[in-house]
Amino acid sequence: MTEDKVAMVTGSSRGLGKALAIELAKNGYDIVVNYARSKSAAEETVKEIEALGRKAIMLRANVGDVKKLRAMFEQVKEEFGRLDVFVSNAASGVLRPIMELEESHWDWTMNINAKAMLFGAQEAAKLMDNGGKIIGVSSLGSIRYLENYTTIGVSKAAIESLTRYLAVEFAPKGISVNSVSGGALDTDALKHFPNREELLDDARKNTPAGRMVEIEDMVKTAMFLISDDSNMICGQTIIVDGGRSIVM
């Protein structure tokens, strides 16, 4: 079994997850590419990683299903025998006003966004005998109101709370747990927002730093948290929004 470092990024066939997976590969990690729907997109991610000289395997799983999530980690154990980085990035959600939400909407969103981080972290920790890094991905909807964002916002708040609890219990194992929270990112996910243009316009006009947050900004912050330079950062959610969340 290889002793090269191994990273798993859930939802890594596109967007932020893909960008993180490729950056990790550039930094010497073999990559577990997880996807739920688009096999062709995941295959493209694998090709780009392999072109960098790193190994990549592609595993399909709805991370909100704990049985499938655990089976995926079993495959990682068989293939690599270890895990050094786990990024719980996969996300989904139902965008509706509160009075239109149904129980299934709540369960779907909480399972994929929050439950997957808890049980994914459990499984990841079992493969981190020499310590490791676990990263969650949140958003500003965890701390402020965004229209139609109830289920997602609450699930992201759960991620930030989980980050603190996981960090305390995993620190003695040499495992650091932190999260990265971003402002509005112009990704495929944002296309599902009925008020997408309003959110983007707000980010362009009202971000003190003078520009929107880019995927690269999130990747750089996550990579810092994954690096040894951040070893004493524990249980924190780092907001990457150019200052948007601290102004009216």
Residue 206 is predicted with a pLDDT of 78
CATH fold label, 6-238? Rossmann fold (3.40.50)
- What is the greatest pairwise CA distance in the chain? 53
With 0.85 as the threshold, say if the pTM is over it: yes
Catalytic residues: 149, 156
At residue 232, what is the residue type? M
- What's the pLDDT tens digit per position in 41-80? 999 999 999 999 999 999 999 999 999 999 999 999 999 9
Question: Can you give the residue ranges of every domain in the chain?
Answer: 6-238
* C-alpha to C-alpha distances, 138 to 127, 193, 208, nearest whole angstrom: 24, 17, 21
Q: Does residue 39 carry a pLDDT above 90?
A: yes
DSSP string spanning 148-190? T-HHHHHHHHHHHHHHHHHHHHHGGGTEEEEEEEES---SGGG
- What's the pLDDT tens digit per position in 189-225? 555 556 656 666 776 777 888 888 899 999 999 999 9
- Give the long-range contacts of residues 66-69, CB within 8 A, separation 24 or more: 66/115, 66/119, 69/116, 69/119, 69/120, 69/123
Q: In the sheet that 132-139 helps form, which strands lie side by side, from edge to edge? A: 56-60, 30-35, 6-9, 85-88, 132-139, 175-182, 237-240
When pLDDT is cut at 50, 70 and 90, the band that residue 127 belongs to is very high
Closest alpha carbon to 34 in 21, 52, 24:
21
